[in-house]
Structure 1
């Protein structure tokens, strides 16, 4: 039973089925029939046919239990396994997944095992946003991609950033975070506008994935994390990714491609006094960095 409950073993699901289930959680329990076309128009833009949503059924789950699921998914993004999908300017609820291969080892196409003898896993992530009034639900599946938290969640973050454009200011309005069990929510720290930051590489470690990983923090003079600070990452001067620090001041990017560019740059957006960080990237590495406040 537990094997089925965590989505492993004999449980089979398509990305569309998972997306439909996520949308049902987001909208309060209504399961709709998936459709591709919203409406048809003529050459002048006049609507000639519309396709109304079709309800399949109501999920027999109480509103109280659905609310608990939503809150758990929100907490997963804000301080759990899905932190790589966190966006300070919009509330996101999500769930990561790591699925097993389900084919016979004697069949063609069976994957190679890694150096430890383990099979690769499929990276899953599903989400909806905003939590309070959902507009979009999505699902990411990367076959053989490893863990959902490392591979699929960052892809979802990029999609959500496109759907919900970032504010133009350097420091973003902070979403109210759900505290971890046993923790008290900390007050939002003053924004770092006009303050000075240095940058350093804390460590470089080996990892299994060829695409290298960047993990960083932005801290004030007391060493406390600063939430809502926008981060820009570029490859040899070409903008690649934009993110923002989570409630603990952390950020990450999991697709540093040394083949695309050996030199990657990381900087704080809207903070001209902040030092820019330059990385000479090699494959199979995990780079831990920090931006820290100093006296002007």
Structure 2
């Protein structure tokens, strides 16, 4: 008989949001794998529970080495509880590697649902929630970040991002450049904590606001792209749009795909417009 891997959500701010089952699992687990053992101690003290099992660290730096050890314990019959600093394991936190390895070994996996910064911010944003996607942390390097946002310019679903307090101003400015300064968004910080704040407005306005500094844990929610615009009557306009994206550093293939998606046209039609503009000396491509 194999053991059980339990993925447990932890409070994202207010400790009283912890589900009752979390305390039960902390007390019953044979092994508690925690992203930060010091934060785990603060949590267990607040919950008034003492883990009876062994407590080990499981974070980005030791995930590769620790995973085989935990899988061996699981296949030997242990009940392993995985917790991260806040929210659900695997969601921009350690956990995926252990879950994948446990699945490979046929280990039973269950979860203790808990608070989620993604869903909390989405609900508070006031933006459409019928369809959304989670994009995690944007790339740290400015060029890669700009390219990622250009890829998402035509994404119709509401988008949710995490970002650090040190990069939020640059992030919002890059979003405004790629997605449009008028695109509605919300910056949610310190969710469920004493200084919780949700700032709503167009990306350009939020980028200006963030220049003064934004502190705390931050989640950004951005409205999806509006319905595809009508195709330009002049092929030269299609070529011009492709040229603009190329000038910003995007490869021609990706630029053509993005323009075609935004215009609701086949990629071949945009490609032909680029070729025609090149041979005719117009369009800038």
Range class of TM-score, shorter chain: under 0.3
Higher fraction of strand: 1
More helix per residue: 2
TM-score, structure 2 length as denominator? 0.26
Considering only CA atoms, is the larger Rg found in Structure 1 or Structure 2? 2
